[in-house]
Amino acid sequence: MDAPPTTASRTWPHLHLRDGASEADLRLMRMIRNKHLSVCLVTTALFLPASAGEVLNIYSHRHYEVDQQVNRLFTEKTGIEVKVVNAEADQLIERLKSEGANSPADLLVTVDAGRMQRARQDGLLQAVQSKALAQATPAALRDPEGFWYPYTLRARVIMVAADRVKPGEIKNYEDLAKPQWRGRLLVRSSTNSYNQSLMASMVSALGEEKARVWAKGVSANMARPPQGGDRDQIKACAAGLADVCISNTYYLGLLLDSPDPAERRAAAKMRVVFPNQDGRGTHVNVSAASVVKHAKNVENARKYLEFLVSPEVQATLAKGSHEHPLSMDTSLNPHHAKWGDFKIDTTTFPTMGESQLKAQRLFDAAGWK
Amino acid sequence: MPTRPIHFLPAKALVWLPAVVVLLPVAVVLLRALMPAGEAWQELVWPRLGGHVWQSLALVASVTALAILFGLPAAWQVSVNDFPGRKIFEWALLLPLAMPGFVAAVAYIDLSEGLVPFYVWVRQRFGIDAFLMVQKVSPWVFAVGILASTLFPYAYLTCRAVFAREAAAPLEAARMLGATPLRGFMQVAMPMARPAIAAGASLVAMETMNDYGVVTAFGLTPLTPGIFRAWGEGHAGAAMRLALVLMVLVLLLVGAERWQRGRRRFAADPSTQPLSRRHCGPGGVLLAWSLCLLPLLPGFLIPGWRMGRWAVQSFERIDWSGNLVATLHSVGLAAAAALFITLGAVVLVAGRRAFSGGGLLLAQRIGLLGYVLPSALVAVGVAAVVSWLAARPGFAGVALSASVFGLLLAYFIRFLAVAIQPGAAALERVSGTLHHAARTLGAGPLQALATIDLPLIRPAIVTGAILAFVDVFKELTLTLVLRPFDFETLATRTYRLAAESRMPEASVPGLLMVLVCLAGLIPLTRMIRIR
């Protein structure tokens, strides 16, 4: 081995120093030293915790603007301050596990029923009984014993370029694997939880082997390797890169109401196809909330849950995030009205969590990146 | 030689501390990787391994090659030719260093949408198979282009140092003997620059291996995202095995670079006179401009321009409070990390002078090791260490999700070398006799360091601190994985907004990062000014 300075200057040649320091160097140094001090002060101030009153601590996977609006409204009505920690559901669940009884969390919010089913199995949640919740939430889409409740519905559908795909040309998820769509299909990566839930429903409906063959067919039809989110698939489809794509409906709603005219034009070219209407129905996932096992503010959490399913908040969410409300009332959002009513697949819903565990493996085997 | 009284041994142990910290994640990963990784490795991760490795190798090879093609000719032009704008290009070619790849990617993800008419034309003209082939290749073209055009300054810097200094005298001689510029380039400059090219290339390769933002933006899955994917799926043991594979690849790379260098040394001889530059004709000016602009356009000007335009267009909708909080987080983290890193580096460098033992040289070398440790390995190693620590009674506060402790630890390990290097180099030039004279006159080792050695190398320490600050400031990979919940830096904010296809909003934090990094480049541009 060489002596360290040589080693270093070889590997980090851009770090060569000039001999000695000039006046300017020293000035720069002084400036930086003073800045360091102020920066440290700012940092300290930033990491200090805020003060607390009557509160509700939420661990949430959702981070839409409309959620903040809903939380503000809740605070106005109840005086309960809402504090939200945002992260992906898996991370939040891991954190709940590691924090155990010390967890500050009162409420867990995810956008996937499967995650909720697994969190319940891991003993992280507690059951809540409430008339309001039982009345407002469809029995098929909630935990049978009240461990978690849905509050928005998210349909994963087929979208087609209206000028290139005739009505009725594609009707079911199963059709996406047919060779006629080779090079004409766009869908995001299999690492995404929406796709894993869709795959889970395929596994529950068709069985593992058929689901794998389906995924392989879909993968073979892709117009490009998976890249970007649902919105990108819609936009690329509208631009002509492909003719059909898989997306959640609310992304189309968001694009239709985008401040960017190009996005609005693109979204207008697409038509929504609710799949499997003659069979088991369209795959729907939910935004769901649950009181955490070791919650300190259980009563506040229950109030918040009931608030979420109230007609007022349901209407706010339907308008703000374009997700479907629990009542499936399509009059709350003009886009929903245009897309129309549809049948929800409730048969595969209860086994979503279980089947999700198989989904990733089957995706890998099918070559869906 | 001053004697070393026995009561300094604890102090000597303290000097080892930064080195031990650097070794921590490697030790953890080695231990865990050798343990059985279970079903997940066999069934999920092992089948993916070939693809990950293949993609990593293909990516590194193509990015490195393109970065050399960008950096070498540009360095040659600004070193040996005189043309209008040369002085501007001399420092402007460093600008892409202030444009992290994932920030530049913001401008290109969107641009790839603009190519749809071209893809449609390919389908109509050449059929579906050609279309699918183009679709497979185009993310690679974008990722490689973005990485190469933002990383080429490493190759530019190393080559430039050789052309302007070491190769100056032989080149002058070649000129006087009647060699054409091309012949001088091929037969004198290139052979002399080979070790420098290899050094620059290895830096580019290392950065490419560590990239997460650019490759994921274009849907590629080399090892680094592969490791985080396995980690995210809850397969820690499998992730650590993948990290070990990545480490082996990096070591092979470092080995290859050393082998290429052979016995040659790449160190500028400061006594050499710089090269006198040749005036160019109009053709030469055109050539020089094209070669300098070729990498500068995609690596800085185009992304900067596009993001600037977005920022202006969406000015009224900018979420200033969100950006401000992210800026404060970024600055706070980078400042705190730079402080710890500088302290660690000073302890290692100064400790070696005070307790001149052979063992401490090893400690310093270990400190330098962090720079070749892959980010993904540091991330999973630190995560394991911190979650072990957080499970101890009374240490719950350090948990990854709740504090920046893990993040600072990871930054320390990864970027300690950045501060050690200038400090060590500067101290090498300060004669040890000064220190020993002070000790003979009765000063203790710490007093001698504080009054003699440290003030003499202060500019180097400050430079090290600035470089560490900038490196941490623009870091994405570690930050994304190890940050606490709800904690956004400018880097993670840019990445998240871009991932959500909210390009105009992503452009503002991206530009803020570029501005701070530009300020960090100032000491660098001062360093490269040869005359």
User: From CA B173, how far away is CA B393, in angstroms rounded?
Assistant: 71
- Partner residues linked to A288 by β-bridges: A110, A150
A350 and A233 share a domain? yes
Please report, for the domain that includes residue A95, its CATH number.
Answer: 3.40.190.10
Instruction: Give the DSSP H or E segment for A81.
Output: strand A81-86
A185, A244 contact by CB (below 8 A)? yes
- Would you call B421 and A183 a contact, using CB atoms and an 8 Å cutoff? no
Q: Tell me the nearest-neighbour CA distance from A132 into chain B, angstroms.
A: 31
- Would you call A223 and B459 a contact, using CB atoms and an 8 Å cutoff? no
Q: Map residue A194 onto helix, strand or coil.
A: helix
Question: Is residue A199 in a domain?
Answer: yes
Which of these ranges, A328-337, B478-487, B511-520, has the smallest mean pLDDT?
A: B478-487
User: From CA B47, how far away is CA A360, in angstroms rounded?
Assistant: 13
How confident is the model over B446-469, as a mean pLDDT?
Answer: 89
Q: Give the highest mean pLDDT range of A156-170, B44-58, B225-239.
A: A156-170
Amino acid (one-letter) located at B181: P
User: From CA B216, how far away is CA A22, in angstroms rounded?
Assistant: 44
Tokens matching residue B76: 């040659």
- Would you call B422 and A32 a contact, using CB atoms and an 8 Å cutoff? no
User: From CA B322, how far away is CA B199, in angstroms rounded?
Assistant: 40
B60, B209 contact by CB (below 8 A)? yes
| pLDDT the model gives residue A12 | 32
How confident is the model over B418-440, as a mean pLDDT?
Answer: 88
User: From CA A342, how far away is CA B163, in angstroms rounded?
Assistant: 70
* Sole residue written with tokens 């100032």: B522
Examine the pLDDT at A37 and tell me if it is beyond 60: no
A267 and A138 share a domain? no
- Would you call A369 and B219 a contact, using CB atoms and an 8 Å cutoff? yes
pLDDT, tens only, A241-256: 999 999 999 999 999 9
pLDDT, tens only, B157-199: 888 888 877 777 888 888 888 888 888 888 888 888 888 888 8
Mutation for A interface: B54, B55, B122, B132, most A CBs within 10 A: B132
Name the residue facing A17 among B420, B426, B485 (closest C-beta). Answer: B426
Phi, psi at residue A326, to the nearest 5°? -60, -35
Q: Map residue A52 onto helix, strand or coil.
A: coil
| pLDDT the model gives residue B264 | 58
If you count DSSP H runs as helices and E runs as strands, how many of each does chain A have, helices first?
A: 15, 9
User: From CA B460, how far away is CA B111, in angstroms rounded?
Assistant: 42
Q: Map residue A143 onto helix, strand or coil.
A: coil
Contacts of residues B24-27 at CB distance under 8 Å and 24 or more positions apart, as own/partner, are B24/B381, B24/B382, B24/B385, B24/B413, B25/B373, B25/B377, B25/B378, B25/B380, B25/B381, B25/B382, B25/B384, B25/B385, B25/B410, B25/B413, B26/B247, B26/B373, B26/B377, B26/B381, B27/B381
A161 and A268 share a domain? yes
Contacts of residues B332-335 at CB distance under 8 Å and 24 or more positions apart, as own/partner, are B332/A39, B332/A42, B332/A43, B332/A46, B332/A47, B333/A43, B333/B404, B333/B407, B333/B408, B333/B411, B333/B472, B333/B479, B333/B489, B334/B469, B334/B470, B334/B472, B334/B473, B335/A36, B335/A39, B335/A40, B335/A43, B335/B469
A158 and A121 share a domain? no
User: From CA B410, how far away is CA B373, in angstroms rounded?
Assistant: 11
Examine the pLDDT at A1 and tell me if it is beyond 60: no
Instruction: Categorize the per-residue pLDDT at A32 as very low, low, confident or very high, splitting at 50, 70 and 90.
Output: very low
User: From CA A309, how far away is CA B82, in angstroms rounded?
Assistant: 73
Question: Is residue A4 in a domain?
Answer: no
Instruction: Give the DSSP H or E segment for A263.
Output: helix A261-268
Cα distances (Å, whole numbers) of residue A260 to A264, B211, B314: 7, 31, 10
| pLDDT the model gives residue B181 | 81
**CB neighbour burial string for A355-369, b if at least 16 within 10 angstroms, e if fewer:** bbebbbebbbebebb
- Would you call B463 and A361 a contact, using CB atoms and an 8 Å cutoff? no
Q: Map residue B319 onto helix, strand or coil.
A: coil
Examine the pLDDT at B271 and tell me if it is beyond 70: no
- Would you call A42 and B332 a contact, using CB atoms and an 8 Å cutoff? yes
How confident is the model over A189-194, as a mean pLDDT?
Answer: 91
User: From CA A131, how far away is CA A189, in angstroms rounded?
Assistant: 40
- Would you call B499 and A39 a contact, using CB atoms and an 8 Å cutoff? no
A190 and A223 share a domain? yes
User: From CA A175, how far away is CA A155, in angstroms rounded?
Assistant: 18
C-alpha distance across the termini of chain B, in Å: 39
A143 and A72 share a domain? yes
Name the residue facing A189 among B219, B399, B504 (closest C-beta). Answer: B219
Q: Give the highest mean pLDDT range of A12-21, A325-334, B442-451.
A: A325-334
Examine the pLDDT at A26 and tell me if it is beyond 50: no
Q: Tell me the nearest-neighbour CA distance from B178 into chain A, angstroms.
A: 32
Contacts for A68 with CB less than 8 Å, ≥ 6 apart? none
How confident is the model over A198-218, as a mean pLDDT?
Answer: 96
| pLDDT the model gives residue B262 | 67
B506, B368 contact by CB (below 8 A)? no
User: From CA B236, how far away is CA B242, in angstroms rounded?
Assistant: 10
Instruction: Categorize the per-residue pLDDT at B429 as very low, low, confident or very high, splitting at 50, 70 and 90.
Output: confident
Instruction: Categorize the per-residue pLDDT at B263 as very low, low, confident or very high, splitting at 50, 70 and 90.
Output: low
Which of these ranges, B262-266, B293-297, B479-483, has the smallest mean pLDDT?
A: B262-266
Instruction: Categorize the per-residue pLDDT at A223 as very low, low, confident or very high, splitting at 50, 70 and 90.
Output: very high
B296, B95 contact by CB (below 8 A)? yes
| pLDDT the model gives residue B529 | 55
Mutation for A interface: B41, B116, B163, B206, most A CBs within 10 A: B116
User: From CA B383, how far away is CA B482, in angstroms rounded?
Assistant: 7
A101 and A199 share a domain? no
| pLDDT the model gives residue B272 | 56
* Sign of the C-alpha dihedral computed for residues A228, A234, A236 and A241 taken in this order: positive
| pLDDT the model gives residue A11 | 31
Amino acid (one-letter) located at A67: D
Examine the pLDDT at A14 and tell me if it is beyond 60: no
A130 and A273 share a domain? no
Residue B488 burial (CB count, 10 A): 22
How confident is the model over B327-342, as a mean pLDDT?
Answer: 96
| Nearest-10 crossing angle of helices A298-308, A65-78 | 120
Question: Is residue A193 in a domain?
Answer: yes
Instruction: Categorize the per-residue pLDDT at A24 as very low, low, confident or very high, splitting at 50, 70 and 90.
Output: very low
| pLDDT the model gives residue B483 | 87
Query: Which residue stretches of B97-235 are H helix?
Result: 101-114, 116-126, 128-151, 153-161, 168-176, 181-183, 190-210, 213-217, 223-232
Q: Across all residues in chain B, what is the average pLDDT?
A: 87
How confident is the model over A72-101, as a mean pLDDT?
Answer: 88
How confident is the model over A77-85, as a mean pLDDT?
Answer: 92
Detail the DSSP E strand segments found in B349-502.
none
Question: Is residue A14 in a domain?
Answer: no
Give the nearest chain B residue to A17 (CA atoms).
B527
pLDDT, tens only, B377-428: 999 999 889 888 887 888 877 777 678 999 999 999 999 998 998 888 888 8
Instruction: Categorize the per-residue pLDDT at A202 as very low, low, confident or very high, splitting at 50, 70 and 90.
Output: very high
Contacts for A46 with CB less than 8 Å, ≥ 6 apart? B328, B329, B332
Number of domains in chain A: 2
Q: Which domain holds residue A267?
A: 154-282+346-366
Examine the pLDDT at B51 and tell me if it is beyond 70: yes
pLDDT, tens only, B65-118: 999 999 999 999 998 889 999 999 998 999 999 999 999 998 898 777 789 999
Question: Is residue A174 in a domain?
Answer: yes
A297 and A309 share a domain? yes
Q: Map residue B386 onto helix, strand or coil.
A: helix
| pLDDT the model gives residue A51 | 41
User: From CA A115, how far away is CA A325, in angstroms rounded?
Assistant: 20
- Would you call B116 and A236 a contact, using CB atoms and an 8 Å cutoff? yes
Identify all chain B residues contacting A5, using CB atoms and an 8 Å cutoff: 424-425, 428
User: From CA A338, how far away is CA B369, in angstroms rounded?
Assistant: 61
Cα distances (Å, whole numbers) of residue B333 to A112, A170, B67, B249, B400: 33, 52, 30, 30, 15
Question: Is residue A49 in a domain?
Answer: no
**CB neighbour burial string for A98-116, b if at least 16 within 10 angstroms, e if fewer:** bbeeebbbbbbbbbbbbbb
User: From CA A124, how far away is CA B23, in angstroms rounded?
Assistant: 36
| pLDDT the model gives residue B8 | 56
Name the residue facing B335 among A40, A86, A94 (closest C-beta). Answer: A40
- Would you call A32 and B462 a contact, using CB atoms and an 8 Å cutoff? yes
| pLDDT the model gives residue A350 | 92
Question: Is residue A48 in a domain?
Answer: no
Phi, psi at residue B393, to the nearest 5°? -60, 135
B201, B64 contact by CB (below 8 A)? yes
User: From CA B239, how far away is CA B388, in angstroms rounded?
Assistant: 17
Question: Is residue A19 in a domain?
Answer: no
| pLDDT the model gives residue B234 | 78
Identify all chain B residues contacting A360, using CB atoms and an 8 Å cutoff: 44, 233
B213, B476 contact by CB (below 8 A)? yes
User: From CA B238, how far away is CA B291, in angstroms rounded?
Assistant: 45
Which residue segments constitute the domains of chain B, with CATH numbers given? 7-28+317-531 (1.10.3720.10)
| pLDDT the model gives residue A38 | 42
In 3D, which of A325, A317, A300 has the Cα closest to residue A75? Answer: A300
Instruction: Give the DSSP H or E segment for A58.
Output: strand A55-60
A235 and A351 share a domain? yes
pLDDT, tens only, A112-147: 999 999 999 999 999 999 999 999 999 999 999 999
A219 and A353 share a domain? yes
Instruction: Categorize the per-residue pLDDT at A20 as very low, low, confident or very high, splitting at 50, 70 and 90.
Output: very low
Tokens matching residue B282: 């109009």
Q: Nearest-5° angle of CA B244, CA B223, CA B195?
A: 80
| Confidence (pTM) | 0.84
A137 and A178 share a domain? no
